Structure 1
Amino acid sequence: EGDRSLAYWRQAHWKFFSRVCSVIDRLPQEDMPVVCERFRLVYAADA
């Protein structure tokens, strides 16, 4: 995604964080915890 920098990732996801936080009546914060997961495809079924 983008230039693969943390700064780009934060900027690109800030709107998402804002929407999710509003559902739980919160405001996004620069120091809020965020869980990042990576996935690897281990099997692709024939489509």
Structure 2
Amino acid sequence: MKTNYENVDYDSDHHESSTGLVIGILIGAAVGAFAAILFAPKSGKVS
């Protein structure tokens, strides 16, 4: 039973870190795009 629990726990941790990495990349891209839109007018790049 202990071995089974450890296997489940390992799978859970691995899945959470992969999901966290993807979410982190998406949030980083969204924040970067938002900052670019905010600072574009100050750089004279008004579209």
TMscore range, shorter length: 0.3 to 0.5
Give the helix-richer structure, 1 or 2. Answer: 2
Q: Highest relative contact order (Cα 8 Å, sep 6+), 1 or 2?
A: 1
Higher Cα radius of gyration? 2
TM-score relative to the length of structure 1: 0.33
TM-score relative to the length of structure 2: 0.33
